[in-house]
Amino acid sequence: MTGSSTTRKVIPLPRSGPAHAGDDGHHRRKPHTRVIAITSGKGGVGKTNIVANLGFAFSHLGRKVLILDADLGLGNLDVLLGIAPKFNISHVIHGEKRLADILVEGPGEMKILPASSGIQELTQLTHEQKMRFLTDLDRLIDDVDILLIDTAAGISTDVMDFNVSAHEIVVVVSPEPTAITDAYALMKVLSLRYAEKCCQLLVNMAGSPREGEDVFRQLELVTERFLDIHVDYLGCVLRDEKVTRGVKHQRLVCDLYPASRASRCFTQLAERMVKASPASRPKGNTNLFWHHLVRTTPQ
């Protein structure tokens, strides 16, 4: 990966809420969490499965992993993992709970922040709601090595706000023409409206490594010609019927079939990402990039 050189102007948020553990007013926090948004231009490309299995693989490499299901109105990460949380992000947005109150344990000792399903109002958060939510999230992840943000599909404002808050943006695409077209549309919005200079591409359900590389080359060609954004090829996850079997059993393929070819892909991806230099992080006492939201005028 070579997308680690992007520099972003960061405007730190004012501190709010109770002091962080160990903060006596004289010592600043030293955030170290690596924040990775995993997103897609369209649904049906297996993005949530990617997030969950990649998180599982990171955990097996000794990293403390937290996954945020950021598909706020149609979250299904809990269903995929076979867990039934009592509370979810809707309780946080409505002020009934803090994020720390809704954390649940996932496979491989991952921690999960579950979203809700069928609550339309959560797909249109106000500026103040976004700020409160991300401020709470920023504090929560101080002791986490890697935060994976599983965004909703598409190019809505809420999806983009989560993307540009991360250090790294991974775009998931499948080999289908519609998925490739929508992946390009997502990159176009990131480039033209949010001034993003780089992202990474992960091809899911590839028939072979060659097919994954071909998809990358198609997107690289058009982005280099028409957009001011650099795309790094993260790799591919090969098509594997055992992934479908795992979904039916509400188990991750990496957990249920660790020797399968999809599981080996996830392990190799996690190893490469851990070894690679992480993208530049915000300066000061914040884990997240705030430049877009802080400059946004409340509606």
* Secondary element (H or E) of residue 255: helix 253-256
H runs (alpha helix) in 8-88: 47-60, 77-81
Does 269 have pLDDT greater than 70?
Answer: yes
Residue 11 has pLDDT above 80, yes or no: no
Structure token pair of residue 76: 């299904």
CB proximity list for 284: less than 8 A, separation 6 or greater = 10, 12, 28
Smallest CA-to-CA distance from 36 within 128, 123, 141, 115 is with 141
**Is pLDDT of 255 > 50?**
yes
The two structure tokens encoding residue 143: 């002791």
User: Which pLDDT band holds residue 6 (cuts at 50, 70, 90)?
Assistant: very low
Question: Of 14-23, 170-179, 231-240, 255-264, where does mean pLDDT reach its minimum?
Answer: 14-23
Q: Are 228 and 262 in contact (CB under 8 A)?
A: no
**Residue 225 predicted with pLDDT over 50:** yes
Task: Please check whether residue 288 is in contact with residue 134, taking contact to mean a CB–CB distance below 8 angstroms.
Answer: yes
- pLDDT at 118 (0 to 100): 60
Quick one: average pLDDT of 245-252? 96
> What is the widest separation between alpha-carbon atoms in the chain?
55
In the predicted model, what is the mean pLDDT of residues 178-196?
97
pLDDT score of 280: 65
**All domains of the chain in start order, with CATH:** 32-279 (3.40.50.300)
pLDDT in tens, 108-143: 999 999 997 665 566 677 888 888 888 889 889 988
Query: Residue 283: its pLDDT value, please?
Result: 55
Residue 282 has a pLDDT of 63
